[in-house]
Structure 1
Amino acid sequence: MYVQHEARDAELADHIEGLVRAAVPWVEKITGLPLPRPRFELVDIDGLALAYRSFVRRQMERDTEGLDLTRWERSKLIAHPQAAEFMVRSGGLSKKPVLIATSIGQPATLIIPEALRLQRLSQTPELLCDLLVRSLAQQAQVLAGRGQVVPPPQWPKSPTARHPIVQLSEGHAQWTSSRATREITGSTRQTRRPLAKRIVHSILEPLADRRVARASALVDQAVNARGLTAFNAVWNTPGLAPTLDEFRHPGRWIGRMPPP
């Protein structure tokens, strides 16, 4: 386990490290995936922007290796990492953990401490644990496939929230957290957001929440039908992930999964 941080974030880093140590055995048990090297980095906005730009560049170089690109495609290949950095600096990714992977599929989760404090996540054990468990589940996905499936390809265009792999990854993370977080924290109740935040959330993000909930339900159906081993083949088998149509018709995806 590795938690990289600046001196000013030492207390938060210790808190995160303690929760991660408690969470790893539960995540491994629930997902059936090993987590030998969980890594978290507490960064400022500059650190996040530069790290994400480098990650996008590596992903695009991997995705386009051996392709005969046109001049326009090469210019896009150069410009895309810069656009990714701009998206981070403009606030597009600064409020939540960001999953990146090296060229050999080693994952890390980048977190801006101030974003945790502003959302009061660092002061609420259940919410911080939920965030870390989801991040650990996604790191386990990357390790299971050495980064070939998760994170999803950056080329020919950037993945969006509707991308099947993005939905499956986030749904699997939620599925894991729903089974692990209460066990880790000993909480018997769900922490409720302040009323104002709940109202804003209900207006701005219901579609995103429905997508993740639908993906989590799909994971549950698939694991119950085929078992963990067959389900986990999705992380190292390109083309096995569900299509957008199969999210709406889970039986079609389960029907083409490996047998138990």
Structure 2
Amino acid sequence: MTDAKVLHETGKHGYLQDRVESILDEVVPVVRETTQLELPALVVFRIVDAETWLIDSEGDLTGFVSRFRARRPRWHAPAIGLVERMSLGRFRKVAPLLGGVLVMGATTAGPADQSQTMLVPEALAHSGVLSSPYYLTQLVAHELVHHAQNLATRHREVWAAEKPAALLRAGSVKFVEEGHAYWADQEVTRRLFGEPKDIHTAPASIHSDVYQDAMKNKTIARMRRGPDVYTEGRKIVTAAIEAVGPSLFNRVWTDFSLLPTKDELKRPGRWAERLVAEAVSTDQGAAA
């Protein structure tokens, strides 16, 4: 049983609290059925202002770095500190554009095995999420999947036992997390509305001028270089789930060795083939 709570922290935008509560009531059981993952006993969505988003997002980032530092030899501390300062510097430089304009939703670590999702109303308006109830439903479903992932991996601690850098979403971690959430939100909206609803393919006209100008920012453009973790991640996850099903796919959350390699990120079929082979091997071992 999952209790979903929406905290209204801005003093306005009360209508958004009602909408998110209604969507959560509908989406929670569908996300659980679609992903075949458990959700935390308490799911928290917070409606916050951009400044709160910035402070709490920065705290989440430094928290993961601290957990990473604790797993590394002490003599690595200076290098880790340098990386942290550089990362925070880049984040602070673009944070107003991210939290106040571009980021549709942000799910961070909460107490114990819980997570919490922050929604900034102004950013939802600029990004076009509020232009249709379909898109807000997609967003809530997407972030809710991150709650389930975080519960399964204990906020990546399961992976970190094998590879501490997983705490920083190194390697394929970000592709799997975002790709899985993207795959799931498409499945959830298809079940609810008869067809997938996808803001990523929506017409540019739903975005505000402020949003479109922010996307042209040089720092934002540099951050977006390289493979897109959402679209590319969805490709590899879709191929894998179609090959082994969501239940067997979920072994990746508790076994770091099952995450895709660099080569498999480029060739989704290869990762799917390996997951099939691993499933067959596990079944044969259990039978023996």
TM-score (norm 2): 0.74
Match of 1:39 among 37, 44, 52: 44
Cα 1:92–1:71 change in 2 (3 A) is same
| Kept after mapping to 1: 8 A contact 2:37/2:148 | yes
| Kept after mapping to 2: 8 A contact 1:142/1:148 | yes
How do 1:185-224 and structure 2 match up within 5 A? Answer: 185=193, 192-195=202-205, 211-224=229-242
Match of 1:179 in 2: 187
Match of 1:68 among 66, 70, 74: 74
Match of 1:135 in 2: 143
Q: 122-131 or 90-99: which moved more?
A: 90-99
Partner AA of 1:41 in structure 2: R
Q: Does 1:98 pair with 2:106? A: yes
Cα 1:150–1:23 change in 2 (3 A) is farther
Q: Does 1:48 pair with 2:58? A: no
Partner AA of 2:55 in structure 1: L
Match of 2:279 in 1: 259
Question: How many residues of Structure 1 are paired with residues of Structure 2 in the alignment?
Answer: 256
Match of 2:173 in 1: 165
Q: What is the alpha-carbon distance in structure 1 between the residues aligned to residue 33 and residue 13 of structure 2?
A: 30
Match of 1:59 in 2: 64
Q: 29-38 or 249-258: which moved more?
A: 249-258
Q: 147-156 or 49-58: which moved more?
A: 147-156
Aligned CA RMSD, in angstroms, stands at 3.6
Cα 1:59–1:32 change in 2 (3 A) is same
Aligned-pair CA distance for 1:121? 1.8
Match of 1:29 among 16, 33, 42: 33
Q: What is the alpha-carbon distance in structure 1 between the residues aligned to residue 198 and residue 134 of structure 2?
A: 8
TM-score (norm 1): 0.81
| Kept after mapping to 2: 8 A contact 1:63/1:154 | yes
| Kept after mapping to 2: 8 A contact 1:55/1:102 | no
Aligned-pair CA distance for 1:52? 1.2
Q: Does 1:245 pair with 2:255? A: no
Partner AA of 2:95 in structure 1: R
How do 1:147-158 and structure 2 match up within 5 A? Answer: 147-148=155-156
| Kept after mapping to 2: 8 A contact 1:60/1:77 | no
For structure 2, the 5+ residue unaligned runs are: 281-288
Match of 1:89 among 85, 90, 95: 95
Cα 1:76–1:222 change in 2 (3 A) is same
What CA deviation, in whole Å up to 9, does each residue of 1:162-218 have, x standing for no partner? Answer: x421112221112112211143346788774254859x6999779765x53332232
Match of 1:118 among 112, 119, 126: 126
Aligned-pair CA distance for 1:47? 0.6
For structure 1, the 5+ residue unaligned runs are: none
Q: What is the alpha-carbon distance in structure 1 between the residues aligned to residue 247 and residue 174 of structure 2?
A: 21
Q: 14-23 or 67-76: which moved more?
A: 67-76
What CA deviation, in whole Å up to 9, does each residue of 1:131-160 have, x standing for no partner? Answer: 111111122111111111699999599658
Partner AA of 1:73 in structure 2: A
Cα 1:151–1:26 change in 2 (3 A) is farther
Q: 41-50 or 86-95: which moved more?
A: 86-95
SS in 1 for 2:130: coil
Q: If each structure's helix is expressed as a fraction of its own residues, which one has the higher value? A: 2
Match of 1:229 among 239, 242, 247: 247
Q: What is the alpha-carbon distance in structure 2 between the residues aligned to residue 207 and residue 85 of structure 1?
A: 18
| Kept after mapping to 2: 8 A contact 1:125/1:185 | no
SS in 1 for 2:279: coil
Q: 53-62 or 69-78: which moved more?
A: 69-78
